[in-house]
Structure 1
Amino acid sequence: MADFIPVNEPLLDGNEKKYLNECIDTGWISSEGPFVKKFEAEFAQTVGRKHAITVCNGSVALDAAVVALNIQAGDEVILPTFTIISCGAAIVRAGGIPIVVDCDPVTWNMDVNQIEAKITPKTKAIMVVHIYGLPVDMKPVLEIAKKHGLKIIEDAAEMHGQTYRGQPCGGFGDISTFSFYPNKHVTTGEGGMIVTDDDSLAEKCRSLRNLCFQPQRRFIHEELGWNFRFTNLQAAVGLAQLERLPEFVQRKRKMGAIYTELLSDIPQLELPLVKTDYADNIYWVYGMVLKDEVPFDAAEAMERLRKKSIGTRPFFWGMHEQPVFHKMGLLKDVSCPVSERLSRRGFYIPSGLALTEEQMQQVAMAVKELFN
């Protein structure tokens, strides 16, 4: 049997070891170390923002962003239903109410044409989440937010190196967030980043991630924060990764093109859109959707691929179908048919930066055999 091909394997053959050794040799391993500030500065520059604040993962970046924007009990936040639970959870934990929109069947991103109808006097923000490889069409979202006086939280967790009409993703929100989980284009193992141009929001996020210690009277607290700090060790890895971001983006696009060529003659599959008029796909992951005439679903396809030593992951399960939110009385009787279909018929195949062309051919062969 062929060696198992994992769904993701990061590429760590740059300066990672060198910088980590520097942390160990100097003893700087905590959040106080010099790599943290350096990584924040380089990252802010990469996405064209004034401030970048490291945190321990992408999910807590959203928690801090929501609290920094003062989303409180009863405030409504509009977001895509088709995204990771972290997005809805951040709103709910702050006491807010998630209001979901369905997604576009081709880009898999939130359907921006559905946003305005969901706005009420309680709406405080729109949470934009760029999905899998293509960004959300931001121009109409920005216009709606301006017209209604709403804040934008931009989750760019999957968009390292991607642009919208030439401007870096992560550059559009009042506050924007990133993740550095191992499957991201820039990884630190675990980790996240908050970016903003607003001085007071940046100060608030720095305070929130550090237990709201006060500069003069450290152990007297006016507010409750969290310990969301990020270590010098993580920052060392992140800096080494960030140095190679343009190369990684190029590599991902090449991988996407290879997969598309290998799989485009399978009539039973819907493959990722190569580009829109505002962005070329960055293929954070290479997803596919089984057409309706295929007699099995994604779960069955993934199980068959596992037996052929191919790692896969299912697509997101919509916020409006999450049992945890239903138990809280949220998002009941909501219908989002596009998301429901994608959740059941979509999955992605090995997409990590360390994947070889030979492995991609093996994966494509196994996918083709699903339909024989």
Structure 2
Amino acid sequence: MTILVWDYLQEYEKERGDILDAVQQVFSSGQLVFGKSMRGFEEEFAAYHGVSHCVGVDNGTNAIKLGLQALGVGRGDEVITVSNTAAPTVVAIDAIGAIPVFVDVREDDYLMDVGQVEAAITPRTKCVLPVHLYGQCVDMEPLKALCARHGLVVLEDCAQSHGARYNGLLAGTMGDAAAYSFYPTKVLGAYGDGGATITSDSVVERRLRRLRYYGMEDRYYVVETPGHNSRLDDVQAEILRRKLRRLDAYIAGRRAVAERYAEGLGDTGLVLPTVNQSNNHVYYLYVVRHLRRDDILEALKAYDIVLNVSYRWPVHTMSGFAHLDQEAGSLPVTEKLADEIFSLPMYPSLSPDAQDKVIDALRQVLAAL
């Protein structure tokens, strides 16, 4: 049996009746786009977070892109973020003509080093985009205070942090707006692409609704301002609506897997995830470190265990962002982590037997190094 870093088939077998009923409900409703399911999910996702508005979109990248535009970020504006993230975070910034400005991450939790942000601010800085990476939140209290002093807007990237908390506050509720991905691997994942941006600012919400629908507002084919076609379709919305009711259970399952890893691997020499005292980690990924990462990954293939690295190539080192002129070595912690981190299988339906196989294989491989 091959063990993958992520698999949905066991979860699907358990939830198949509900998932197929969701599809049937939408298909028989007579409205496949902008229907009751999408409106219902928007209302319920906003309510889960205790915010006023949720605007469903077609994917997480556009959730960031439209979020930035709705907050007034545009061409030539600088957006401070991190390079240790999935490329779409930066792709979205670049897509609107804004300029990504990178700060390094902390070595213990791999999150934005808030202490470096102020030095990165220039007269062109408009926004800070903290990435709540791997399932826990950036240190938001000092970041919010800093942004308030400098008049900067904050867009939270919550693609990996559904249900995570910082000092009791849900990820996505601490900035001016927050962007989510519902890609199938996520803590709250669809059966295809999907995304959303949430806010309690009614002006931002109105802009978001225009932007996702060509720039139209009240009348079809009357464009108020140029926009996009970025709608969340009702099939995915209804599936997400059903799965949202199970989100806390999914998180509990992920935490149980994380506890089993901590017990089984705590004495092996792997650097296991650090959970900040202020955070409730939801373990979108279980990221560990070792100096001989690549040797470990290669050796695990003999055990039919296939893992991945999130992320092997920091965004600032990618050829597609060479125009940013970010020198190698400028983000030393990020670049060091890229050579050492890798992700263990992490999903709520991962069986104890499969997890024990991963733990036993890792112990054998590490002992042989």
Q: Normalised by the size of structure 1, how large is the TM-score? A: 0.93
- Measure how far apart 1:223 and its partner are: 2.5
Aligned to 1:230: 232
- Measure how far apart 1:333 and its partner are: 5.2
Looking at structure 1, the residues matched to 330 and 59 of structure 2 have their Cα atoms a distance apart, in angstroms, of 31
2:29 maps to which of 12, 20, 26: 26
- Measure how far apart 1:302 and its partner are: 2.2
Aligned to 2:54: 52
Structure 1, 96-105 or 4-13: larger mean CA deviation: 4-13
- Measure how far apart 1:300 and its partner are: 3.6
- Measure how far apart 1:70 and its partner are: 2.2
Looking at structure 1, the residues matched to 325 and 26 of structure 2 have their Cα atoms a distance apart, in angstroms, of 46
| CA spacing shift, 1:212–1:112, aligned 2, 3 Å | same
Looking at structure 1, the residues matched to 227 and 2 of structure 2 have their Cα atoms a distance apart, in angstroms, of 43
- Measure how far apart 1:280 and its partner are: 3.0
Q: Secondary structure, in 3 states, of the residue corresponding to 1:314?
A: coil
Contact in 1 for aligned 2:73/2:98 (Cα 8 Å)? yes
Looking at structure 1, the residues matched to 129 and 164 of structure 2 have their Cα atoms a distance apart, in angstroms, of 18
Q: Secondary structure, in 3 states, of the residue corresponding to 1:99?
A: strand
- Measure how far apart 1:329 and its partner are: 4.0
| CA spacing shift, 1:340–1:229, aligned 2, 3 Å | same
Which runs of 5 or more residues in structure 1 are unaligned? none
Aligned to 2:216: 213
Contact in 1 for aligned 2:85/2:133 (Cα 8 Å)? yes
Which runs of 5 or more residues in structure 2 are unaligned? none
Aligned to 2:19: 16
Aligned to 1:195: 198
Aligned to 1:287: 287
Q: Secondary structure, in 3 states, of the residue corresponding to 1:287?
A: strand
Q: Return the letter of the residue paired with 1:88.
A: V
Q: Is 1:325 aligned to 2:321, yes or no?
A: yes
Q: Secondary structure, in 3 states, of the residue corresponding to 1:183?
A: coil
1:246-299 deviations in Å (ceiling 9; x for gaps)? 1111111111000111111102x11001x3221132211111110x4xxx3x33
Aligned residues: 360
Contact in 2 for aligned 1:9/1:353 (Cα 8 Å)? no
- Measure how far apart 1:73 and its partner are: 2.3
- Measure how far apart 1:17 and its partner are: 2.3
Contact in 2 for aligned 1:8/1:353 (Cα 8 Å)? no
Looking at structure 2, the residues matched to 22 and 107 of structure 1 have their Cα atoms a distance apart, in angstroms, of 42
Aligned to 1:365: 360
- Measure how far apart 1:357 and its partner are: 0.8
Aligned to 1:272: 273
- Measure how far apart 1:305 and its partner are: 2.0
Q: Return the letter of the residue paired with 1:41.
A: E
2:294 maps to which of 289, 296, 299: 299
Aligned to 1:337: 332
| CA spacing shift, 1:306–1:60, aligned 2, 3 Å | farther
Q: Is 1:312 aligned to 2:303, yes or no?
A: no
Aligned to 1:90: 92
| CA spacing shift, 1:253–1:55, aligned 2, 3 Å | same
The root-mean-square deviation of aligned C-alpha atoms, in Å, is 1.5
Q: Is 1:355 aligned to 2:353, yes or no?
A: no
Aligned to 1:4: 2
Q: Return the letter of the residue paired with 2:288.
A: M
Q: Normalised by the size of structure 2, how large is the TM-score? A: 0.94
1:306-347 deviations in Å (ceiling 9; x for gaps)? 332112111223222121111x24424561111111111101
1:179-227 deviations in Å (ceiling 9; x for gaps)? 11111111112111100011111111111111112413x2232422111
Q: Secondary structure, in 3 states, of the residue corresponding to 1:352?
A: coil
